[in-house]
Amino acid sequence: MSYATLNVTFAGPHVTIQDQGRPGLMRYGVPASGPMDRSSFALANAALGNPAGHPGVEISLGGLSLHCLSGAVTLALAGGGFIAETKARKLGAWNILTLSAGETLTIRPGPWGCWTYLAFAGSLQAKEWLGSHATHGSSGFGGGKLSTGQMLILTDAEICPDREGAIPCPVWARPRHLLRCTPGPQDRFFDAETLATFTTARFEMTDAFDRMGLRLRGPALIPASALSIPSEPILRGSVQVSGDGTATVLLADHQTTGGYPKIATVLGCDLDAFVQCRPRDAVMFQAITPAEAIAITRQNAIRFAGFESRIRRR
């Protein structure tokens, strides 16, 4: 059995271990977590022939440096357009490379994107919580946040020279600024004019952007009447409107319930590319029917599966 040992020589905030997440526990207050951009994470793993949910690392705009102390392992980097550098070369994301003892890999933000993924041809040793290695941000449960000085151990580490090189980056993995959504469940609290504003105005991404959600800046979406609704379930993709009319899109580590009205729910398959938009980017919402949402989701799944299997076979 071959090992590779990587020393975390630098980890920015919000760099975490993730896998496919832990769905099915929202009734206990536990969101699914998992990667912010699930498609790119799955493609990074597919490019190495791994199962889609194989544990890897989610890298935030804070960046990450890894120094290989012993052994060697092939890595895939996919997601936001980050820069990966070793002493010998400089690559963009959507590449596969091998890191050997004595080498340091530094990953930092590049021309686009907010989150990028490191998958390993090997098994990353990490803590599990409730059957998953995914890190739940606010508790730190699961694989956990990476911190400077920490060691990452890979068992069954492999070197795959035939897989090294570029991975094609599909156009749909690039930042998505138009969010398709189904109105509700509490759109009835807003008057027609406010609902029209929601789907015609431009909103700006703010710096209040983490694994729990993203706050938007834009016209105030004031509910038509003063209200007090009993706390009720929230989904990844819920667009929650606070009392002052500010909209927040809830993401991977969302609270599972809340008492603010949800004006709309963003299509799950639009969220992966949405989280690659950066603060100050403009985004817009487009209302679609539930039937259209189902049709789009199915088309996307077919497109994704086709791309994923081509990458996996390379």
Out of 301, 303, 309, 314, the residue judged to bind other proteins by CB under 8 A: 301
Other beta carbons within 10 Å of 127: 12
Q: How far apart are CA 124 and CA 127, in angstroms?
A: 10
Out of 24, 51, 165, 168, the residue judged to bind other proteins by CB under 8 A: 24
**In a 3-state reduction of DSSP, which class is residue 295?**
helix
**In a 3-state reduction of DSSP, which class is residue 297?**
helix
Q: How far apart are CA 217 and CA 39, in angstroms?
A: 27
Site for other proteins in 203-232 (CB under 8 A): 229-232
Q: How far apart are CA 90 and CA 44, in angstroms?
A: 18
Q: Shortest gap between Cβ of 197 and other proteins (angstroms)? A: 23
Q: How far apart are CA 93 and CA 169, in angstroms?
A: 9
Count of residues touching other proteins (by CB under 8 A): 34
Q: Shortest gap between Cβ of 234 and other proteins (angstroms)? A: 8
Q: Shortest gap between Cβ of 266 and other proteins (angstroms)? A: 14
Residue 298 touches other proteins, criterion: CB under 8 A:
yes
Out of 171, 193, 291, 313, the residue judged to bind other proteins by CB under 8 A: 291
Q: Shortest gap between Cβ of 246 and other proteins (angstroms)? A: 18
Out of 255, 281, 286, 307, the residue judged to bind other proteins by CB under 8 A: 255
Other beta carbons within 10 Å of 302: 9
Q: How far apart are CA 189 and CA 290, in angstroms?
A: 19
Residue 100 touches other proteins, criterion: CB under 8 A:
no
Out of 258, 261, 263, 308, the residue judged to bind other proteins by CB under 8 A: 258
**In a 3-state reduction of DSSP, which class is residue 63?**
coil
Residue 169 touches other proteins, criterion: CB under 8 A:
no
Stretch that binds other proteins, among 58-66, 137-145, 165-173, 201-209 (CB under 8 A): 137-145
Out of 101, 166, 282, 294, the residue judged to bind other proteins by CB under 8 A: 294
Residue 27 touches other proteins, criterion: CB under 8 A:
yes
Look up residue 223 and give its amino acid. P
Q: Are 37 and 272 in contact (CB under 8 A)?
A: yes
Q: How far apart are CA 257 and CA 114, in angstroms?
A: 26
CA-atom Rg of the chain in angstroms: 20
Rule CB under 8 A: which residues touch other proteins?
Answer: 23-30, 130-131, 136, 138-139, 141, 184-185, 229-233, 235, 255-258, 268, 290-291, 293-294, 297-298, 301
